[in-house]
């Protein structure tokens, strides 16, 4: 009897261990999408009074929707804001840290006083542990946004933006999705199907990297 119980306990322990291992291996990657600006901070204002804060929120909400409907909730995605509110830069990075984010993607639109166009991705300009991986993630997002959607590729750039500086504990990129001061790109942002296409490109760029780069 004692021997039988001993074997049973060993078997139960084995299955508990296996279940714990399966849970670890099946955990979704946590992605925090930082929705730039908000509230009294409109961000850049472009052609036809289009506001950066509205464009990035529309794209972010579409990323959430596509992750659920097309990608079967492959990623565990959180937004730094879900409506038109102002969130401090420090609180954005604090949220990512609290959620133990694997990836931080900050969404923005560009603006220029000259005729400029295209998509560019920023990574932090320090040699942190996640720097190389962040560059690779940025390239993946950049390729999807330019090769599939036809935006001019402005490349990977380096900067000391606060949201990047404070999120070096994970992969972190800041995506400038195009120029709202450019007539063509501002017009592009006004169409719902184009917002969906941009969201899909960013989501694909992220999932493609996470499925192959990590």
Calculate the alpha carbon distances from 156 to 57, 80, 102 in Å: 23, 23, 20
Would strands 171-179 and 30-35 be described as parallel, antiparallel, or unpaired?
unpaired
pLDDT digits (tens, 9 = 90+) for 93-124: 999 999 999 999 999 999 999 999 999 999 99
Calculate the alpha carbon distances from 123 to 16, 46, 175, 212 in Å: 41, 25, 9, 20
CATH number among 3.40.50.2000, 3.40.50.720, 3.40.630.40, 3.40.50.1000, domain 29-212: 3.40.630.40
Taking CA 33 as the corner, what is the angle to CA 38 and CA 116, rounded to the nearest 5 degrees?
70
Q: How confident is the prediction along the chain (214 residues), in pLDDT tens digits per residue?
A: 544 444 444 455 555 555 555 444 458 999 999 999 999 999 999 998 999 999 999 999 999 999 999 999 999 999 999 999 999 999 999 999 999 999 999 999 999 999 999 999 999 999 999 999 999 999 999 999 999 999 999 999 999 999 999 999 999 999 999 999 999 999 999 999 999 999 999 999 999 999 986 5
Distance CA 38, CA 189 (A): 17
170: DSSP letter: S
Q: Which of 183, 214, 213, 203 is nearest to 77 (CA)?
A: 203
pLDDT digits (tens, 9 = 90+) for 166-175: 999 999 999 9
């Amino acid at each position: 009897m004692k021997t039988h119980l001993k074997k049973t306990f060993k078997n139960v322990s084995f299955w508990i261990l296996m279940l714990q291992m399966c849970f670890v291996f099946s955990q979704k990657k946590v992605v925090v999408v930082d929705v730039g600006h908000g509230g009294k901070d409109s961000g850049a204002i472009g052609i036809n009074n289009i506001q950066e804060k509205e464009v990035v929120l529309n794209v972010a909400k579409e990323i959430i929707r596509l992750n659920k409907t097309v990608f079967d909730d492959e990623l565990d995605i959180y937004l730094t804001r879900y409506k038109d509110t102002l969130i401090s830069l420090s609180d954005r990075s604090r949220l990512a840290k609290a959620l133990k984010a694997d990836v931080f993607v900050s969404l923005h639109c560009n603006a220029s006083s000259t005729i400029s166009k295209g998509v560019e991705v920023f990574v932090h300009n320090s040699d942190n542990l996640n720097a190389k991986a962040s560059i690779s993630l940025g390239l993946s997002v950049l390729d999807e946004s330019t090769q599939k959607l036809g935006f001019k590729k402005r490349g990977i750039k380096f900067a000391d933006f606060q949201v990047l500086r404070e999120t070096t504990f994970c992969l972190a990129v800041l995506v400038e999705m195009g120029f709202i001061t450019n007539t063509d790109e501002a017009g592009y942002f006004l169409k719902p199907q184009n917002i969906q296409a941009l969201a899909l490109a960013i989501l694909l760029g992220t999932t493609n990297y996470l499925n192959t780069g990590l």
